A and B are shown apart, each in its own frame.
Chain A
Amino acid sequence: MTEFYAANSDLILFAGAAAFKTLVFLNGVMGFTALLTLAERKVSALMQDRIGPNRASLFGLALNGLFHPVADGIKMVMKEDFVPGRAEKLLFTLAPFFALVPVLALFSVIPFGDYVMVFGYQLDLQIADVPLGLFLVLALSGLAIYGVFLGGWSAKNNFALLGALRGAAQMISYEVVLGLTLVGLLMIFGSASLQDIVRAQGRLLFGWLPAWGVVYQPFAFILFLVAAVAENKRTPFDLVEGESEIIGYFMEYSSMRFAAFMFSEFVEIILISMLASTLFFGGWQVPYLYESGFILPGGKALALNHYLVALLQVGAFSAKTVFFSWFLLVVRWTLPRFRFDQLMGLCWKRLLPLALLNILVTGAVMLALGKV
């Protein structure tokens, strides 16, 4: 047994580090998701001039509603777990997992920092540095459709099926745009590894402008954001669910099964925020912060401890994620819903040609600048 450990010590160390990172990062994401459900209600309350949830308390301590996610969780667990009589039992049970698992798996390729040295070992602040990470994002987000579709179909309810059909049509359409908007970034950074993309964004343009993706591809960023919100199935693209009048794919779901669908929607918000900041806003990069510390364009330098630099980078990534999450919540409570033909027209007649045009212009500019 000791021989086995000695022979495979690298592998075991790697697996242990990966398991630890997964535990910490995913738990962080889960905790943030729980807070996001509260933030959603608080933001909507703020925008509608209400107070919002503030009653759930622990030992008389309400903390302005901080315990509401916990109360929601308890409520979800206590609800009746209902399966319609004609439903496909196995698929009905599996569908929430189909919705949640691909989204959670995607966090493995997102770099949340550069690296930290722990006992002389270099610990990359990313669960898995996959060389084709960007493609993996597209592949797994494509699989998330099955959760929506199976949820609608397996309940054997006509309204649920109609919701699922709307969902499948919407998600397939916007996924094409989502993939095409990322092609320009792929051309510029020349790598599909998300960590490579973030490292490349640490450079400076003209000596002072951080070379973030949004500087190279401002147009692609807007297209990406629209397509991502549509993939997320939230207002103004919430025809899949349409909680106020048109009933959605999870209408037969209750209890934790429903919670899994709702949870996956909120996890997707975080995922979109993380992807937007990773691809277009420099990920964990802080402008002018390098491994040794701050070096300002004027030449002034401020040396910083390695751990402080790592902390600043992780903090910057978290701040960007929180900002985009907040932005997506505000969008959700600001814009009214599209009609279905508007939704499809926007995707195929507006966004798709624009995304293709963006690729063409990016290629032409790169050719003109001799960067090919």
Chain B
Amino acid sequence: MILNAAIYGFGGLAVLATLLMIFQRDSVKAALLMLLALLSTAALYLALSAQLVAILQVILYAGAIMTLFIVALTVTPAAWRDRQPAASVKGLLGLAAAAVLFAELLKAAAPLRAVAASREFAETGSLELARLLFGPYVFQFELLSLVILAAIVAAVALTSRRRTAV
């Protein structure tokens, strides 16, 4: 009973925060509402007994990625304007596009209804995950870190080009 209440409560909070984020004009506040959505999703995972996923959600998304987003957004000029410009035709177009996307999403999600809910429940989910990641999939896993490293080096090279040109 308590668990169900938590699942519906945090699920509802995530949906509400996401909707508010979409209709928020101030970019920093929108990012903060997204943070709320991410945190309530983490709580949802926790209510579903997926502790590791919940904690990783908080460490990676709420703790690292959203921090960078918010830091970057606060130094944009838009965050320092007192009154945000009112939405006009653009808003209507956006709503129409959103409606189309939502309809497509519903259509794509329809087959999911047919899938039977999984009743299998592994107590040591994180251990199993670790075994798979560092066992059969260790090569792919390590390859991914190389890809990320290459991306970081490329990003540094791209941004530092201007400095060397001077």
Contacts and interface: CB of A to CB of B under 8 A. Distances in A.
Nearest to B58: A139
A165 to B, nearest CB: 7
B28 interface: yes
A139 B46 CA distance: 13
B63 A135 contact: no
Nearest to A158: B80
Interface centre among B56, B63, B80 (most CB of A within 10 A): B63
B59 A139 contact: yes
Nearest to A136: B55
Interface residues of A, number: 26
A136 B52 CA distance: 9
A86 interface: yes
Contacts of B120: none
B67 A86 contact: no
A139 B67 CA distance: 13
Chain A interface, >50% SS class = helix
Interface residues on B, range: 20 to 34
Contacts of A99: none
Contacts of A115: none
Nearest to B57: A139
A82 B82 CA distance: 20
Contact of A172 (B28, B32, B64, B74): B64
A132 B55 contact: yes
A29 interface: no
A149 interface: yes
Contacts of B143: none
Contacts of A247: none
A172 B72 CA distance: 14
Contact of A149 (B67, B79, B80, B82): B67
Nearest to A140: B58
Given A132-B51, A132-B52, A153-B28, A168 B71 contact: yes
Interface centre among A140, A143, A156, A165 (most CB of B within 10 A): A143
Contact of B32 (A91, A136, A175): A91
A156 B35 CA distance: 21
A130 B74 CA distance: 35
A143 B126 CA distance: 23
A139 B61 CA distance: 10
A288 interface: no
Interface string A103-138: 000000000000000000000000000111001101
26 contacts: A86-B82, A88-B29, A91-B32, A135-B55, A138-B59, A138-B63, A139-B55, A139-B58, A139-B59, A139-B63, A140-B58, A142-B58, A142-B59, A142-B62, A143-B62, A143-B63, A146-B67, A149-B67, A149-B70, A149-B74, A150-B32, A153-B74, A165-B71, A168-B71, A169-B71, A172-B64
Interface of B: 28-29, 32, 35, 51-52, 55-56, 58-59, 62-64, 67-68, 70-71, 74-75, 79-80, 82, 126
